[in-house]
Chain A
Amino acid sequence: MSDEFTSPRVNAARIKDYQGSGHPVRVTGKVLNVRFCPDHRATRVAVTHLHDLFFSPQFSDDETHLVMEASDGGHVKVLLPAPPQPHNVTDTFVEIIGTAVDASTIKFMACINMGPKLDLALVNQVVELTFDPKFRGRLF
């Protein structure tokens, strides 16, 4: 099936449709913070609230991960590879490709850095349009 090689661009609400399938998805959005284990050094990313860097009660401390805001505003946790495996997340806006672990978590496979400025409302409209029956199955 040609589906094998697709990695649909999704927002937070649509991750659940790919959860557990091992099928990679693309989440375009804004990096909110990086949560790091004490013995690993975090690479620099955007931090919206300083206290989140040290206190983020909803996420556990045992793996390196980041939180991003997807194009629909939903928050997505991205599990980063354990060092020494590098990841290249450096910009505020990124497209992260990964497999959906659960409805709000993806496991990092690759990242495209997209700079400091991206219109997420536009991105979300595009994402939703790609699922429109006029196009899904034909162009996407």
Chain B
Amino acid sequence: GGGYLTGGSPFGSNSGSPGGIGRRGALLQSLRPITVKQFSQATQAHADAEWVFENSEFGQVTLVAHVISVQKQTTNSVYQLDDGTGTLEARHWPDSVNQDSDDSQDEVVPNSFARVTGTIKIFGTKKYINANHIRPVLDPHEPFYHVLEAMTVQLIFDRGPPGAPINGQLPAGGTHSLAAYSAQGHQSEAKDQHSHLQPVPRSIVRFMLSQPQTREGVHVGAIVKAVGADAESIERALEQLMDEGAIFSTIDEAHFQVSQ
């Protein structure tokens, strides 16, 4: 999966858990696209705790914003950024660890868009971004891409990733990880996939799945006997299922297997 979600427990453990430090290490591996408004609203239970916004935690964050001003000081540079949802300060301390040797070294200048990546820090009561990377945007569409990405990721935290099964269990509240949406039971998968079918095709598939799964599959005679519908209906249903790709014929025209 993407880097947006943490590798924490799927049951939404609290930030105060004893495993806090280890979790925080994992959290910092995630990169969350945000707006300044989300930055402003993020809260921290105590110093060194994770920054929390609504239903999720922020590790590293990334923003695209209008550069209002740049102040180069002896040890660091201070950028005032505004993305339309608020303003924030990003501070960048260049050092040998952070400096990318292949950076284009394009300078970030006022009245341009820049992308900044870093962590939320607080000095006294003042929040700021400790930027480990700041650069001019590469393309004029980048600020709009960023807005859409921030929205998408927020929706994933609200609703789960797209394509999660309708009857999949969402962990109640707290944070959740991608692990909660992986492996589903084989049976429930079959039910989900085939519940939209008409009765006859559905019975056919259910019967076939209930048989020992072999390469040659099930003989049509067995299907007719088990499902109990007339031959014509069964033939029509088999054709429909083959058209949909749900089943396929195996050793000959009379043997069928379910597509997995």
Chain A interface (Cβ within 8 Å of chain B)?
2, 5-9, 26, 88, 93, 95, 97, 110-115, 117-119, 122-123, 126, 129-130, 134-135, 138-140
Instruction: Mark out the residues of chain B between 73 and 90 whose CB falls within 8 Å of any chain A CB in the assembled complex.
Output: 82, 84-87
Assess whether A139 is in contact with B84, with CB atoms less than 8 Å apart: no
Given known contacts A112-B112, A117-B140, A139-B150, is B84 in contact with A2 (CB within 8 Å)?
Answer: no
B256 in the interface (beta carbon within 8 A): no
Assess whether B144 is in contact with A115, with CB atoms less than 8 Å apart: no
Assess whether B140 is in contact with A135, with CB atoms less than 8 Å apart: no
Residues on the B chain within 8 Å of A111, using CB: 111
B113 in the interface (beta carbon within 8 A): yes
Assess whether A7 is in contact with B84, with CB atoms less than 8 Å apart: yes
Assess whether B141 is in contact with A139, with CB atoms less than 8 Å apart: no
Residues on the B chain within 8 Å of A134, using CB: 151, 155
Partner of A138, one of B66, B82, B140, B154: B154
Assess whether A130 is in contact with B147, with CB atoms less than 8 Å apart: yes
Assess whether A115 is in contact with B37, with CB atoms less than 8 Å apart: no
Which partner residue on chain A sits nearest B68 by CB separation?
A110
B54 in the interface (beta carbon within 8 A): yes
B38 in the interface (beta carbon within 8 A): yes
Residues on the B chain within 8 Å of A130, using CB: 147
Assess whether B141 is in contact with A112, with CB atoms less than 8 Å apart: no
A130 to B84, CA, bound (A): 11
Residues on the B chain within 8 Å of A138, using CB: 37-38, 54, 154
Residues on the A chain within 8 Å of B44, using CB: none
